[in-house]
Structure 1
Amino acid sequence: MSLFKLAWVQRGFLVARRCVHNTAIHSSSLRDWSQLHPVALNYLTFEPSDGATRATRATRAPPDQASAPSKGPIVICHGMLGCAQNWSTLARLIANRTERMVLVPDARNHGQSPKLGPITYPHLAADLRRLCHDLDLNDITLIGHSLGGRTAMLLALLESAPIKHSCVHPTTRGGIKRMNNFLQALANVDFQAIPDSASFNQAKAIVDRILARSMGDQTLRSWLLMNLTQSSEDEGKFKYSWSFDVHLFEAHFEKDLVRVPGQEQWVPFGKPTLFLGGAKSNYIPRDGHDLIRRHFPGAVFDYVADAGHFVHVDNPEEFLRKLVDFL
């Protein structure tokens, strides 16, 4: 059983110092980044400043290196159907508590990054590598959740030079059915049913009622509704949609996002890596530690009390404490 199959059978946070790669591409070309045509990702930057943080959204402009903290940057990779905005509160806290610059990119087909396919781990890792290269980032600490954790792990296993640490939070086999249900519910939202005169809050309430038919968890719906976008057509008239192309996810999820390819090219990532899971989940099983250490010899494991897959949401204070202690 491979690490990434295991990470898929779990879900946890990965904290490592380096990134990575694709499925539609033959495994022999995993290190040929140019074949993957990486896209420029949109990202948020958080910098500590007198107990506060300054948040900046950009696409390719580099962070203000003159004002950035002297310590290496932290790059946070969100999970599937998430976005950089989901991490704003925690990113500010991490920036302040570590006194380090924190960048949170929107993965392709998420948030404000391009709605492009294919969506495979090699492509996601190539995008992340391009971001780090374009911004000339070094001594990086990668933090990844779920889809973002696997992306970060793959990059770390293929190209570890600029990565200093990593931290991962991995999914269960039951997670496949659950995600497919999410995607179907999102695809079934009829945005044409929303009056073009509806305000954003009115539209959000309408979509929430539609999602509630198949999704009883209000917290989950609120999280997904952060992907609702509004565009203006005429004065006083609006059009609503998801910030992602749900059909791209449907096309690639089971085919390309359940397992990570190219194991024969993985090089063990020996730098410090924290696997941080929820005590209430089985995403990082205790009996899987030895298998993980074959690929991450510097791995340490910890669990957050009273937390499931969404460790950073279920118990954010303990999550932050354990993360900052590790860093």
Structure 2
Amino acid sequence: MNLLHSTIIGDSGRDLLILHGFLGMGDNWKTHAKGWAAMGYRVHLIDQRNHGRSFWSDKFSYKSMVEDLAHYCQVNEVKRPILLGHSMGGKTVMQYACTYPERVSTFIVADIAPKAYTSHHQLILNGLAALDFSQIKTRNQANEALSVYVKDENTRQFLLKNIYWETPEKLGLRININILKNASEVIGEGLDANAQSSVPCLFLKGGNSEYILNQDHLIIQHHFPNAEIKEIAAAGHWLHAEQPTIFFQQVNAWLNSGV
């Protein structure tokens, strides 16, 4: 079985595993990871399948990502870690806690609910799939090509982190766009109605985000009866990037509460 790529920051302490969102990578969380490592945690920045430096696979589902995480923990002898997941990573974390509750001490979910979401990534995916690296020779050219599909500059800069030099002369994408471009429905899937976990957990929502609505609190409590839900004001879906200090403090307060 293939092993997920990770960057581990910190030599000892409680294991904190971070799972990125759709089209992201573990490196997106490096600043936060250094902060937690300085506080005594061993932080694992994990690239999920078809993302970052992890392996590519034709199979792409939350079930497969849960098993990837279980295999990673087994190989690295990680027992009952803290899990933190944003968006797609949050869905993986939720599914893992329902499948293997005895293997998790606590988990934090950043701005995603256990419900199903309608597809809304397709224009971005079409733009990434349209990048022709036989013609695109610089990151600026890639940015210009992507701007036809993605108008927001901050979103483009996030997406362009997936571009790297395959060879000294040729750019490429770290993500497996041929699989991910058809994965919008998979990403939006909700938890099974009967999935539950009593593991203590924290849901953090962005005050300006519509990913977790007030009516979603009931479905969160249905699946996770020991969940707390907190809001970070003046933050959207990328709450950890838009309000990094407050996000860091909220996670620390939860971890210091005895979970």
Q: TM-score, normalised by structure 1?
A: 0.73
Kept in 1: contact 2:165–2:171 (CA 8 A)? yes
Secondary structure in 1 matching 2:183: helix
For residue 31 of structure 1, what is the aligned residue in structure 2? Answer: none
Q: Which entry has the higher C-alpha Rg, 1 or 2? A: 1
Relative to structure 1, is the Cα distance of residues 100 and 167 closer, same or farther in structure 2, using a 3 angstrom cutoff?
same
Q: Does the 8 A contact of 1:187 with 1:246 survive in 2? A: yes
For residues 206-229 of structure 1, give each alpha carbon's deviation from its aligned partner in whole angstroms, at most 9, with x where no partner exists: 101111122121111111111101
Q: Structure 2 residue aligned with 1:208, among 115, 123, 143?
A: 143
The residue type paired with residue 110 of structure 1 is H
C-alpha contact (below 8 Å) 1:269/1:296 kept by paired residues: yes
Q: AA paired with 1:271?
A: V
Q: Distance in 1 between matches of 2:117 and 2:71?
A: 33
The one of 237, 247, 253 equivalent to 1:325 is 253
Structure 2 unpaired stretches of 5+: none
Residue 262 of structure 1 deviates from its aligned partner by 4.6
In the alignment, the residues of structure 1 paired with residue 156 and residue 104 of structure 2 have an alpha-carbon distance, to the nearest angstrom, of 34
Deviations 1:297-323 (A, max 9, x none): 110010111101111011111111111
Q: Give the corresponding residue for 2:75.
A: 134
Letter in 2 for 1:114: F
* Residue in 1 that maps onto 2:48: 107
1:316 aligns with 2:239: no
Aligned equivalent of 1:160? 101
How far apart are 1:143 and its partner, in Å? 0.3
Structure 2: which amino acid aligns with 1:324?
N
Unaligned runs of 5+ in 1: 1-37, 48-66, 196-202
Distance 2:223 2:216 in 1: 12
Which aligned pairs between 1:241-260 and structure 2 lie closer than 5 A?
Answer: 241-254=172-185, 256-260=186-190
- Equivalent in 208, 219, 223 of residue 154 of structure 2: 219
Between the aligned partners of 1:317 and 1:175, the Cα distance in structure 2 is 31
Contact 1:73 1:140 (8 Å CA) reproduced: yes
TM-fit CA distance, 1:257: 2.3
Percent of residue pairs identical: 27
Structure 2: how far apart are the matches of 1:287 and 1:271? 22
CA 1:46–1:276: 2 relative to 1, 3 Å: same
Query: Aligned partner of 2:46: which letter?
Result: P
Counterpart of 1:238? 169
Please state whether the residue corresponding to 2:215 is helix, strand or coil: helix
Equivalent residue in structure 1 for 2:12, among 54, 62, 68: 68
Shift of 1:260: 4.0
**SS of residue in 1 equivalent to 2:83:** strand
Cα deviation for residue 139 of structure 1 reads 2.7
2:9 to 34, 43, 46: 46
8 Å CA contact retained: 2:128, 2:146 = yes
- C-alpha change, 1:186 and 1:40, in structure 2 (3 Å) is same
Q: 1:260 to 1:174 in 2, by over 3 A?
A: closer
User: Pick from 219, 222, 230: which aligns with 1:291?
Assistant: 219
After TM superposition, which residue ranges in structure 1, 4 or more long, deviate above 6 angstroms?
A: 171-175
Q: Find the aligned partners of 1:253 and 1:134 in 2 and give their Cα distance.
A: 30
- Report the alpha carbon displacement of residue 161 of structure 1 after superposing the two structures with TM: 1.0
Q: Take 1:209 and 1:175, find their aligned partners in 2: how far apart are those partners? A: 28
Q: 1:301 aligns with which of 219, 224, 229?
A: 229
The letter of the residue matching 1:215 is V
The C-alpha deviation readout for 1:124-179, integer Å capped at 9, x for no partner, is 111011101111111311000111000010010011112011111217988622x1
Matched, 1:282 2:224: no
For 1:193, what is the secondary structure of its paired residue? coil
Change (3 A) 1:173 1:181: farther
SS at match of 2:93: helix
**Count of aligned pairs between the two proteins:** 253
Query: What is the CA-CA distance between 1:39 and the residue it aligns to?
Result: 2.5
**Cα displacement (A) at 1:107:** 0.5
